């Protein structure tokens, strides 16, 4: 097989000329033939001044290059999209698939023998793993690593669970404008990813347990020197992978995904990770079954005492031995023969790590933080294709609750009315947000963490049952039902909920139900479809470019929100991928 600089030549109809031209141009960068004859290791440069979670990428690249050179390879950095949660309008999920396509196609287009993927902020590692799964080129992930915590009035603060906690205090009138601004300057004291078990930390842990990054890579703080040594080692390992041909298809197997789901439950990981894992697995032709994930959650308790489920931060998990301490506890449950980027099995990697006696961040299986896994899958007439709740960070007393629906039909409606003194809402109501799913918003924003209405917050109400087809940040907490599928914008039953309806949440029974008779729901459905504008007026027709492609092709949450053309038919099955608002299925051929 062709390797190195001769790989994937540009098509001119004359391969020798293509190589001649390629070498002529790359020599303009100062490379010698000796350098170009080495294995070529790509490094994704995901630095952006809009992405503080990737603020250390330049130093990481220097260290990775050092490692590549030590092992006899030639490093080539190249840019890809960089996504930060707070600088991604309308929402980062809208851009994840674009980053996956960008990364995948640049991996295919350039003459790479292996690639180092520098990810970090929430959607970046998922996008890179999706790309690696599709391109199937030797690939190794290095997370940028978590930021350190800050302090306010002697209290430890960390992005971004404490961002939400303090914002809640501000909304409730417990702290004033001056104090919230003081806190604002202390929540993110260093570069790096959010320092709780949010989506970034969860996906870093998942990359590590899946064998796609070096042991220990998930938890080393972004600004520690050990992070740079881990980067150097990552560069060296990338050369070994290029020589040995260790492909993602050999690492990202069904066993690796099962290990990832077990770890997701045990770390009290982000709800977003389930969507990401579903999308990554689908690209390897593997279906993540929600019922099986829920069944795993009944066997695997939450062991990691990190916010938002517990009390500590990522730097404490690092001091406790990192993910390996978790894996050591989970050893009896894991597929230990799964391959890792080291060329060793996961079992050998676990055995090779140094234990951390006396640590208190990772609980033993016998005395877990939470008796079951962090995430439960719910079924019911509101969610024919399922939805989820992170019950490890919910209010126990609300996990079985029946209440009156208070409905917001869009993000704008929510923003307009949630703090109105006239809003008819009580503490035991159920807040419902519609039209915030993959197509409806679009991009399924992290709006599922519906704020507690101000007048209730000021009475001291901290949590209510909230349900939507949106996502929520992995750093968020509360009794929040998410990812309802199919979404309301394509006619899911969530669209039929009206103010005053009764909704029953029963997490123990894994149910979420709208307590309205079938006849009435049938009438509402008839009324809904009768009032839908004709297709010619549907917003889709006025869209263009990436937005049009996104709305046309994005799949529902239970399929992973990847584009339908990336999802094998046997995984998509007969479930709706995307529909016109009049209920007809979107397929190539009937696109306006």
Residues of the shown chain interacting with ligand FES in the complex, contacts defined by CB under 6 A: 53, 84-85, 121-122, 160, 193-194, 198, 200
DSSP 512: E
Report yes or no: 484 and 383 within 8 Å, Cβ to Cβ: yes
Residue whose CB is less far from ligand FES, 20 or 50: 50
Q: How far is the CB of 85 from ligand FES (least distance, A)?
A: 4
**Torsion angle of alpha carbons 515, 516, 521, 522, nearest 10°?**
120
Q: CA of 373: how far to CAs of 332, 369, 425, in Å?
A: 16, 10, 32
Residue whose CB is less far from ligand FES, 50 or 546: 50
CA distance 564 to 495: 23
Report yes or no: 116 and 41 within 8 Å, Cβ to Cβ: yes
Q: How far is the CB of 195 from ligand FES (least distance, A)?
A: 9
Residue whose CB is less far from ligand FES, 272 or 488: 272
Residue whose CB is less far from ligand FES, 272 or 436: 272
Q: How far is the CB of 371 from ligand FES (least distance, A)?
A: 28
Residue whose CB is less far from ligand FES, 306 or 383: 306
Q: How far is the CB of 194 from ligand FES (least distance, A)?
A: 3
What SS3 state is found at 360?
coil
Q: How far is the CB of 576 from ligand FES (least distance, A)?
A: 31
Nearest to 326 by CA among 368, 274, 296, 288: 368
Residue whose CB is less far from ligand FES, 314 or 559: 314
- For residue 506, list its beta bridge partners: 400, 511
CA distance 294 to 312: 25
Per the listing, tokens 């050179």 go with 69
DSSP 68: H
HEC readout, 170-225: HHCCCCCHHHHHHHHCCCCCCCCECCCCCHHHHHHHHHHHCCCCCCCCCCCCCCCH
Residue whose CB is less far from ligand FES, 91 or 581: 91
Q: Which two tokens stand for residue 381?
A: 């007439």
Q: Which two tokens stand for residue 80?
A: 């890809």
Q: How far is the CB of 203 from ligand FES (least distance, A)?
A: 9
Rounded (5°) CA angle 555-127-474: 80
Residue whose CB is less far from ligand FES, 193 or 436: 193
Residue whose CB is less far from ligand FES, 107 or 264: 264
| Residue 10 burial (CB count, 10 A) | 12
CA distance 208 to 185: 32
Dihedral sign for Cα 480, 483, 488, 491, please.
negative
Residue whose CB is less far from ligand FES, 163 or 286: 163
Q: How far is the CB of 220 from ligand FES (least distance, A)?
A: 15
What angle in degrees, to the nearest 10, is found between the helix axes of 545-553 and 92-109?
100
């Amino acid at each position: 097989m062709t390797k190195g600089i001769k790989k994937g030549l540009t098509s001119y109809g004359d391969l020798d000329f293509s190589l001649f031209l390629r070498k002529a141009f790359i020599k303009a960068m100062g490379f010698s033939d000796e350098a170009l004859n080495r294995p070529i290791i790509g490094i994704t440069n995901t630095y952006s001044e809009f992405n503080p979670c990737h603020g250390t990428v330049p130093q990481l690249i220097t260290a990775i290059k050092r490692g590549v050179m030590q092992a006899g390879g030639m490093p080539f950095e190249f840019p890809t999209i960089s996504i930060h949660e707070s600088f991604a309008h309308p929402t980062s999920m809208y851009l994840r698939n674009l980053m996956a396509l960008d990364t995948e196609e640049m991996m295919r287009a350039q003459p790479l023998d292996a690639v180092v993927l520098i990810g970090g902020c929430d959607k970046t590692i998922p996008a890179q793993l999706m790309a690696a799964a599709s391109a199937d080129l030797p690939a190794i992930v290095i997370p940028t690593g978590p930021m350190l915590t800050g302090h306010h009035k002697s209290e430890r603060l960390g992005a971004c669970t404490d961002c939400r906690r303090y914002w809640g205090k501000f909304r409730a009138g417990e702290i004033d404008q001056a104090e919230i601004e003081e806190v604002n300057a202390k929540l993110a004291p260093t570069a790096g990813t959010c320092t709780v078990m949010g989506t970034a930390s969860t996906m870093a842990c998942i990359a590590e347990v899946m064998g796609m990054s070096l042991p220990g890579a998930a938890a080393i703080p972004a600004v520690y020197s050990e992070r740079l040594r881990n980067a150097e080692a990552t560069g060296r390992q990338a050369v070994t992978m290029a020589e040995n041909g260790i492909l993602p298809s050999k690492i990202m197997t069904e066993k690796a995904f099962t290990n990832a789901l077990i770890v997701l439950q045990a770390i009290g990981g982000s709800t977003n990770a389930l969507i990401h894992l579903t999308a990554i697995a689908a690209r390897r032709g593997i279906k993540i079954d929600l019922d099986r994930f829920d069944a795993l959650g009944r066997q695997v308790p939450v062991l990691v005492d990190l916010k938002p489920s517990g009390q500590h931060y990522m730097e404490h998990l690092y001091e406790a031995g990192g993910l390996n301490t978790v894996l050591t506890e989970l050893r009896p449950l894991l597929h230990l023969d799964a391959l890792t980027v080291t060329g060793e099995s996961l079992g050998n990697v676990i055995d090779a790590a140094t234990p951390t006696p006396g640590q208190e961040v990772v609980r033993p299986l016998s005395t877990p933080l939470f008796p079951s896994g962090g995430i439960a899958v719910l079924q019911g007439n509101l969610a024919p294709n399922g939805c989820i709740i992170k019950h490890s960070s919910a209010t126990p007393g609300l996990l079985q609750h029946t209440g009156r629906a208070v409905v917001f039909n869009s993000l704008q409606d929510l923003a307009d009315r949630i703090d109105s003194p006239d809003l008819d809402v009580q503490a035991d109501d159920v807040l419902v947000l519609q039209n915030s799913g993959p197509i409806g918003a679009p991009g399924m924003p992290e709006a599922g963490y519906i704020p507690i209405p101000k007048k209730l917050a000021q009475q001291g109400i901290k949590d209510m049952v909230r349900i939507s087809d949106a996502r929520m940040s992995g750093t968020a907490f509360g009794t929040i039902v998410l990812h309802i599928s199919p979404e309301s914008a394509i006619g899911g039953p969530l669209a039929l909920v009206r103010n005053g309806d009764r909704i029953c949440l029963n997490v123990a029974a894994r149910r979420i139900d709208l307590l309205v008779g079938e006849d009435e729901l049938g009438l509402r459905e008839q009324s809904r479809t009768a009032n839908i504008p004709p297709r010619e007026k549907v917003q889709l027709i006025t869209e263009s470019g990436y937005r049009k492609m996104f709305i046309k092709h994005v799949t529902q949450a239970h399929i992973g929100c990847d584009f339908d053309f990336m999802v094998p038919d046997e995984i998509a099955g007969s479930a709706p991928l995307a529909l016109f608002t009049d209920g007809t299925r979107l397929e190539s051929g009937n696109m306006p």
